[in-house]
Amino acid sequence: MTTILITTAAGETGRPMVDHLLKEGFHVRAMVRTDDERAQRLRDKGAEVVFGDLLNFRDVRTALKGVRRAYFNYPVGEGLVEAAVMFAQAAREQNLEYVVNMSHIQSRPDARSKATQNHWLAEQVFDWSGVPTTHLRITFFTQWLLYISGLIRYGRYVMPFDAESRFAPITGHDIALTAAKLFAEPAEHIGRALTLTGPVEYSHEELAAEVGRVLGRDLPFERVTVATFLELIGIPDDIAKLKHFEAVTIDQQEGRLAGVTDTARRITGQSLQTVEDFIDEHRSLFELPYVTRAA
C-alpha cells in the first residue's frame, strides 16, 4: 500500500486531503505540530499521526521514512525556503515518487511579498532536486471569510484590500480534492505548475454583497488598513502577515489574482464549491445564535 505524507495535516487543506486519500485506499501519514484534539480526530479517521517541525531536518527525515508521495505546505511566515530545502533533500534520500507543493497564484522571482517570492524559490528548490513535483499555485482561499466571521455576525464585512480588486476564491476542500486526485494519478502533471481558482470571480465589494445575499442581510464592504485588519482578527503582532498582506494589496491592484481557471474542476471531475455552498456549510459561524430585535 502506498504511503502518502500530508504536512500541515490539521489545516484547511490537510484535513480534507487526509479524508480523500483514506477513502481512496492509501495509507496516510499525517504530520502535525502537537498532539491535540485535531490530531486525535485524524487518528480516529485511520491516519498514522506523526509529530514534527518542518524546520527540523531530523523530524522531516523521520516523517518521510518509508513514504512514496508527499504534500508540502508551509504557512505564511519565516523559514519557507529552508523548510523546502530540508524537505527536498529528505525526499531525495527516500527516492520519493512524487511531491505536491503548495504555492501562490502570483508566484514570481520579483514578488513584492517575501512570502510569495519564497514560494517561487521553493518551487525552484523542488525542481532542482529532481524529485518529481507538481506546484499548485493557489488564489485566495474562501476560508478568508472565516477570518471575519465574527464581524459578519454583527453586520460588518471588513477587508484590507481595494473594493474593486478581483479574484475567484477557492475552498480548502476543492484544493484538497485536486491534490488527492493528483496523488492517485500523478504522471500527467509532474513538472507542471497548476493555477487553481474557484468557479466565480468577484471583486471584494461583489463578494461582500454575495455573502450578504446568502445570509439575507446587508453587508456593505468596508476597507481598513492591514494593521487594523490584523488587530480586528486577533493577530496584531503577526509581522509576516502584515508585510505579506500589504504586498498582496498591490498584487491585486495589478490584477495578479484576477481570472478563473477550470483546472481544479477538470482534475476532480466535479463542480467546485461556490461561496453559497461555503456559507451554508459554516452558517453557524456567520450568524448570531439569537434573533436581534429593534428597540
94: cell is: 527516500
DSSP 3-state percent helix, strand, coil across the chain (nearest 5): 45, 15, 40
**Does the residue 292 lie in any domain?**
no
- Identify whether 23 is part of a domain: yes
In a domain, 9, yes or no: yes
For 41, the domain range is 3-139+170-196
Q: What is the distance, to the nearest Å, from the Cα of residue 242 to the centroid of all Cα atoms in its chain?
A: 18
Q: What is the pLDDT of residues 208-259, one digit of tens each?
A: 999 999 999 999 999 999 999 999 999 999 998 999 999 999 999 999 999 9
DSSP conformational letter for 47: P
pLDDT grade for 291, boundaries at 50, 70 and 90:
low
Residue pLDDT, tens place only, 57-97:
999 999 999 999 999 999 888 899 999 999 999 999 999 99
CATH number at residue 188: 3.40.50.720
Query: Is 10 contained in some domain?
Result: yes
Residue 145 lies in a domain: no
Answer whether residue 210 is part of any domain: no
Position 252 in a domain:
no
Pick the closest to residue 278 from 140, 163, 162 (CA basis): 140
Task: Take residue 49 and report the three cell numbers written for it.
Answer: 499521526
3-state secondary structure of 43: helix
Domains identified in the chain, total number? 1
Q: Answer yes or no: are the C-beta atoms of 92 and 184 closer than 8 Å.
A: no
CA-to-CA distance for 202 and 167, rounded, in angstroms?
6
Model-wide pTM > 0.75? yes
Residue 56 lies in a domain: yes
How do residues 159-179 score in pLDDT, each as one tens digit?
999 999 999 999 999 999 999
Amino acid 169: pLDDT: 98
Please name the residues in contact with 22: beta carbons below 8 A apart, sequence gap of 6 or more: 28, 45, 46, 47
